[in-house]
Amino acid sequence: MDIYASTLSPALDIFVGCYMLVVAVLSIIGNVLVIVMAFKRSSRIKPPELLSVNLAVTDLGAAVTMYPLAMASAWSHHWLGGDATCNYYALAGFFFGVASMMNLTILAIVRFIVSLNLQSTKEKISWKKVKMLCVWIWLWALIWALLPLLGWGRYGPEPFGLSCSIAWGQMKQEGFSFIISMFSANFVIPSVIIICCYFGITIKLYFIFKKSINPTQVPNIVKVHRRMMIIAVLISVGFIGCWVPYSLVSLWSIFHDSSTIPPEVSLLPCMFAKSSTVYNPMIYYIFSQSFKREVKQLQGLCLNFKWCHVANTINDNTIYMVSADIRPKMAARSELME
């Protein structure tokens, strides 16, 4: 039996290839825009915002290194390259998935630290610390991705034959410790940390608003932090939500016979998980006015030169959900005149 042959119908294979093409194009365009916007405002970027750029890099990396091979395999009705490309694809997927999850976890912790004293003008997270955190994220993901190749865990094809990942169904005994450790360290514990951090931020903002007799008297920086927290929560919920169905199906295949799951059923969570790389830029574009304005300006849609400069001086001049650059009105007016 050819383990790399597609168990789906030819028509469904073609649909999967087209779906992956759309996801790849949207992911590459969206995350490249995020990185370009960060580069354009590099002189004003704050240290914690590097984590959001790092998140865009992980999503872009997954789209560039994985999706073309998945598309070609789907249109060929057979996984291309055999064991070598299967291990490569599974390692890349695991690597970028863990890196994204750890990035979101560190983002939540940093957002919580920043929110402890919203009125302070002193940077709580230095460039050195943020760079060390980014290096730690990549090293953590790399170590976990290499473990199956070193003998703890195993990579293998998905039941429907057009993708490769951790061989869940083949590790009921010898790899069970790896599954429990991996699932706990890279999904359950990070999810709990993210929920606790954003719950703590929500409680703090609630009491700040409650102390304000008049909503108009709430400091502008608090409003900005609330808006950025909403963006951060949506991104975290989107990523975790995309991977929950896949995690549940994978755990089912460990404790039960994976052959009882129809290929079409195992396909859906996998495709849904791969769409996680698309959501971040979409959320930025929908909920961040500054990001939307800069994208339109880049596309040549901003025709009013004066309006473009005003857009660059508004309070929501960060798209990266971890810090707020709130400048005095006189400084903003001075920059506008320049």
Q: Are 48 and 225 in contact (CB under 8 A)?
A: no
State whether residue 166 is helix, strand or coil.
strand
Domain boundaries, the chain: 10-289
Which of helix, strand or coil describes residue 156? strand
Q: Which residues of the chain have pLDDT under 70?
A: 1, 118-124, 172-174, 212-225, 257-259, 299-338
pLDDT at 85: 92
Question: In CATH, which of 1.20.1070.10, 1.10.3660.10, 1.10.10.520, 1.10.1060.10 is domain 10-289?
Answer: 1.20.1070.10
In contact, 224 and 140? CB cutoff 8 Å = no
Chain center to CA of 248: 20
User: Residue 220's CB: how many other CB atoms inside 10 A?
Assistant: 10
pLDDT at 147: 93
Number of CB atoms found within 10 A of residue 274's CB: 24
Buried b (16+ CB within 10 A) or exposed e, 120-156: eeeeebeeeebeebbeebbebbeebbebbeeebbbbb
Residue from 165, 167, 141 nearest 153 by CA: 167
Instruction: Give the separation between CA 232 and CA 54, rounded to whole angstroms.
Output: 14
